[in-house]
């Protein structure tokens, strides 16, 4: 069993969650069309001040999706917008350092897995009956996706 663990670690050395978060942030920034007002240039520049921090390099969830890394990249954009708004309010350019902690990002995501409504989890088919004010098309999308 120990040999399997060592081999897995040896094969995963190339992967770093922090680096993948940076890569996904760059992909997201490319998705914003620079000629539209979807993401202001001032916010885009602030993403250069983002650093991703983690105590480990391996993925956090044992699934093939990069949930933590993608959410961390989205949080980086969110933090960049917040920093821009803060500077606009203060009327100064503070060049704030933006640090995204992947452990805290994972904990944020884990809340969704643990959340219940009326004692029913998100995978319980009866939970939909307890949700109010949600458009039926969204219910179908959430159920199939």
SS3 at position 51:
strand
Cα–Cα separations (whole angstroms), residue 131 to 9, 72, 113, 139, 140: 42, 28, 16, 9, 13
Residues 82-98, mean pLDDT to the nearest whole number = 88
DSSP conformation letters of 1-20: -HHHHHHHHHHHTT--HHHH
Give the DSSP letter of residue 67.
H
Higher pLDDT, 90 or 138: 90
Residue boundaries of the structural domains of the chain? 2-114, 116-145
Contacts for 104-107: CB closer than 8 Å, 24+ residues apart: 105/68, 105/71, 105/72, 105/75, 106/60, 106/61, 106/68
State pLDDT tens for residues 61-77: 888 899 999 999 999 99
């Amino acid at each position: 069993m120990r040999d399997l663990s060592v081999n897995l670690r040896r094969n995963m050395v190339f992967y770093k969650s922090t680096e993948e978060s940076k890569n996904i942030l760059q992909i997201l920034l490319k998705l914003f069309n620079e000629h539209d007002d979807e993401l202001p240039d001032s916010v885009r520049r602030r993403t250069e001040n983002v650093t991703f921090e983690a105590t480990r390099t391996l993925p956090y969830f044992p699934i093939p999706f990069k949930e933590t890394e993608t959410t961390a990249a989205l949080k980086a954009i969110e933090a960049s917008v917040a920093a821009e708004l803060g500077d606009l309010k203060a009327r100064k350019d503070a060049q704030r350092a933006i640090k995204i902690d992947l452990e805290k990002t994972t904990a944020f995501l884990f809340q969704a897995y643990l959340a219940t409504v009326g004692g029913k989890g998100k995978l319980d088919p009866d939970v939909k009956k307890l949700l109010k004010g949600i458009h039926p098309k969204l219910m179908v999308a959430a159920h199939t996706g």
